[in-house]
Structure 1
Amino acid sequence: MTIDSAVGTGHIPAALHALPHVHYADRFTLATALEATPEAWARAMFGDTPSAGELLIWRGILSLRLHRERSLDTVAGWRVDERREDWIRLAAESWWLRANMVVATTGGQVSLWTFLHYAQPIGHVAWPPLSIVHRHLVPGVLRSAAVRVRGPRG
């Protein structure tokens, strides 16, 4: 399962994020014949509630405020900010960071976009080294989600 990726703030579809300014953006795309809604893909990637590892990263390191209960309005604690036919946007924020993750499904592909706005100057220092880990983990998130979407029959 080959993953295509792009990092940078150029050529970002404006409708995808709801941030005042994008300081960091990336997109990871997996070509797949599997069909599922963007929300089903998002739940396959992250679950209904955050895992221990996600809590460590999202709450512990990034200080993101996540919802604790399972809900139709959240995915892994992230608030569902907007749903469209071909994408879903998740949102979370901390004292220093506002984040959007977008899961998009188009043309036999599923993509995970990450958009960050640094609400405090520390973001310009803290995120660059953390982004290395983020970019290392995301391909595995997409591949694992494909296995979940495929289900036991695959």
Structure 2
Amino acid sequence: MPMSTVHRELPVPDAVRGLGAMTDPDYLDVFTLTTGDAADWTPEQWARAMFDDVAGWQGQVLFRVLLGLRLARRRSPEHVAGWRIDERGADSVRLAAKSWFLTARLVVRVTDGRVSLATFMHYDRALAARIWGPTSARHRAAAPGLLREAHDVLVRSRRGDQSSR
């Protein structure tokens, strides 16, 4: 298995900032996993591994309960963990969701042996800053593990696919 590292990108690269399609986010961060096999999977496969498989029910509690995001109830080709797929590109996928107090976007980008997760938040009401402010610290602590564990999920799924042939 290739060696992998995760780091937070500061400042946020302009290329990633543009993918969020949010002119003036109140919160923005980017975490990047460097691994030689990142491009073996599409951005959407990475997103599904991160949010459907790794984040699972704990992610749903954060998204639906704490942040009040209005997410789809069923899995579908147009949703990842309930988030609407807002845009698909050759090297990225953007997920979007809203609550009554904030607008959120997640961007997963795969380039040059790296996969990045960018989180964009726009505070539509003052309450958003009071909720996301403390929650963002937990998000920043969890993001590196989310990327690493998604990589593990994808590697295991590939091994499973190969062993079933």
Q: Same fold (TM over 0.5)?
A: yes
- Once the two structures are superposed, the pairs formed by residues 4-153 of structure 1 within 5 Å of their partners are 4-6=7-9, 11=14, 13-34=16-37, 35-47=40-52, 51-151=56-156, 153=159
Inter-CA distance 120–8: structure 2 relative to 1 (3 Å threshold): farther
Secondary structure class of the residue paired with 1:51: helix
Q: Deviations over 1:52-96 (max 9, x none)?
A: 211211111000011001110000000000000000000001011
Q: CA deviation at 1:18?
A: 2.6
Secondary structure class of the residue paired with 1:64: coil
Letter in 2 for 1:63: G
Q: Deviations over 1:92-123 (max 9, x none)?
A: 01011100000000000000000000000122
Secondary structure class of the residue paired with 1:47: helix
Deviates more, 1:95-104 or 1:19-28: 19-28
Q: Structure 1 unaligned runs (5+)?
A: none
**Is contact 2:67-2:131 (8 Å) kept?**
no
Letter in 1 for 2:87: E
**Structure with greater Cα Rg:** 2
**Is contact 1:32-1:109 (8 Å) kept?**
yes
TM-score, reference length from structure 1: 0.90
Inter-CA distance 98–44: structure 2 relative to 1 (3 Å threshold): same
TM-score, reference length from structure 2: 0.85
User: How many residues were matched structurally?
Assistant: 153
Q: Structure 2 unaligned runs (5+)?
A: 161-165
CA distance in 1, matches of 2:45, 2:7: 21
Deviates more, 1:1-10 or 1:90-99: 1-10
Deviates more, 1:100-109 or 1:7-16: 7-16
CA distance in 1, matches of 2:120, 2:10: 10
Secondary structure class of the residue paired with 2:48: helix
Letter in 2 for 1:123: A
Higher share of residues assigned helix: 2
**Is contact 2:26-2:121 (8 Å) kept?**
yes
